[in-house]
Structure 1
Amino acid sequence: MFELFDISKEEQEKILKQARRVLSGYRHLKRAYTLSMPQAHTQHYGGVSTSKTRRTSNESPELIRYLELGEKVEKIEQAVERVENNEYLKNKYMRADEVSQGELARLSGYEISRYSHFLRIALFDFSVFYDIIDFSNCDIKIETVSVSRAQ
């Protein structure tokens, strides 16, 4: 799965663990964002800074929390949307109801091992799009192939 990158098994597991942690927290983050909306709903949004260092006196802490949660939720959703086979991530981590991995594999028509393989690939792709992987630390292997036309 990681053939293009010189990443050790330990580093692969660390990357996947971090991706799982981010996605596992999505449901709670989304719920907190939804629940914080009624308090922030009546606030004025124009010119609001989400920077913790540049708050003005008229910005309520509830509004700041709402906007910060919204940014986090949006960042996760955007990264998931960029993943090619994102249905694995959406079904596993983003649905309102939790379904076991065995049930998800059965519903997808794959054996659990094959389903797990596809899920790991989707998690790795997510980690790339969510900026969990720092490519400045990776060596990319590039092989050239020469092709000649027969005369």
Structure 2
Amino acid sequence: MFELFDISKEEQEKILKQARRVLSGYRHLKRAYTLSMPQAHTQHYGGVSTSKTSKTSNESPELIRYLELGEKVEKIEQAIERVENNEYLKNKYMKANELSSWELVELSGYAKTTYARKFNVVLFDFAIAYGIVDLSKYEFTVETVRISRAQ
């Protein structure tokens, strides 16, 4: 599937499974974030530490949880924004109403197998953007293509 990288099929499946797991939890994470401290949406908490080691007595556990959830949600959203053709991920994982598989395929305008292949590529791109895949562990295979002008 990803011919450019020297990654085994088993490793590819493992990477895609981790990416799906992260994205599948997005709606729950976003809901928990929204519900954890609703009044915090109207306030700005600048300079509040989210580090577990540097908590002070005046920082409430609810505020810390809210900020940590916010960081997780933001990290996922930023990774999705860095992915080309991210509408696949947004339609499947970020919309409030969950679409069925056939609705997603129909929405894309592609055949089911083409949609699945394109979706896996986008999912792999998300895995790279989110940090699931460390590209420094893999070798790239590059073929030289020679182009000549017709005389």
Same fold, judged at TM 0.5 (above): yes
* Equivalent-residue separation in structure 2 for 1:148 and 1:38 (angstroms): 63
Superposed, 1:38-49 pairs within 5 Å as: 38=38, 40=40, 45-49=45-49
Residue in structure 1 matched with residue 23 of structure 2 by the alignment: 23
* Equivalent-residue separation in structure 1 for 2:29 and 2:108 (angstroms): 27
* Equivalent-residue separation in structure 1 for 2:127 and 2:147 (angstroms): 34
Residue in structure 2 matched with residue 139 of structure 1 by the alignment: 139
Tell which deviates more after alignment, 100-109 or 35-44. 35-44
Q: CA offset at residue 109 of structure 1?
A: 1.6
* Equivalent-residue separation in structure 1 for 2:144 and 2:57 (angstroms): 59
Structure 2, unaligned stretches of length 5 or more?
none
* Equivalent-residue separation in structure 1 for 2:111 and 2:149 (angstroms): 43
* Equivalent-residue separation in structure 1 for 2:147 and 2:138 (angstroms): 28
Tell which deviates more after alignment, 83-92 or 112-121. 112-121
Q: CA offset at residue 39 of structure 1?
A: 5.4
Q: Where in structure 1 do 4 or more consecutive aligned residues deviate above 3 Å?
A: 39-44, 142-151
* Equivalent-residue separation in structure 2 for 1:21 and 1:83 (angstroms): 17
Q: How many percent of aligned residue pairs carry the same amino acid?
A: 77
Residue in structure 2 matched with residue 128 of structure 1 by the alignment: 128
Amino acid at match of 1:110: Y
Residue in structure 1 matched with residue 111 of structure 2 by the alignment: 111
Structure 1, unaligned stretches of length 5 or more?
none
Q: CA offset at residue 118 of structure 1?
A: 1.1
Amino acid at match of 1:131: G
Amino acid at match of 2:113: S
Q: CA offset at residue 111 of structure 1?
A: 1.5
Residue in structure 2 matched with residue 86 of structure 1 by the alignment: 86
TM-score by length of 1: 0.90
* Equivalent-residue separation in structure 2 for 1:90 and 1:41 (angstroms): 23
Pair 1:63 & 2:68 matched: no
Structure 1 pair 49–146 and aligned structure 2 pair: CA distance change class (3 A): same
Structure 1 pair 110–146 and aligned structure 2 pair: CA distance change class (3 A): closer
Residue in structure 2 matched with residue 34 of structure 1 by the alignment: 34
* Equivalent-residue separation in structure 1 for 2:141 and 2:108 (angstroms): 33
Q: CA offset at residue 148 of structure 1?
A: 7.5
Tell which deviates more after alignment, 81-90 or 105-114. 105-114
Q: CA offset at residue 38 of structure 1?
A: 2.0
CA contact (8 A) 1:37 1:66 kept: yes
Structure 1 pair 48–141 and aligned structure 2 pair: CA distance change class (3 A): same
* Equivalent-residue separation in structure 1 for 2:44 and 2:103 (angstroms): 45
Structure 1 pair 150–106 and aligned structure 2 pair: CA distance change class (3 A): closer
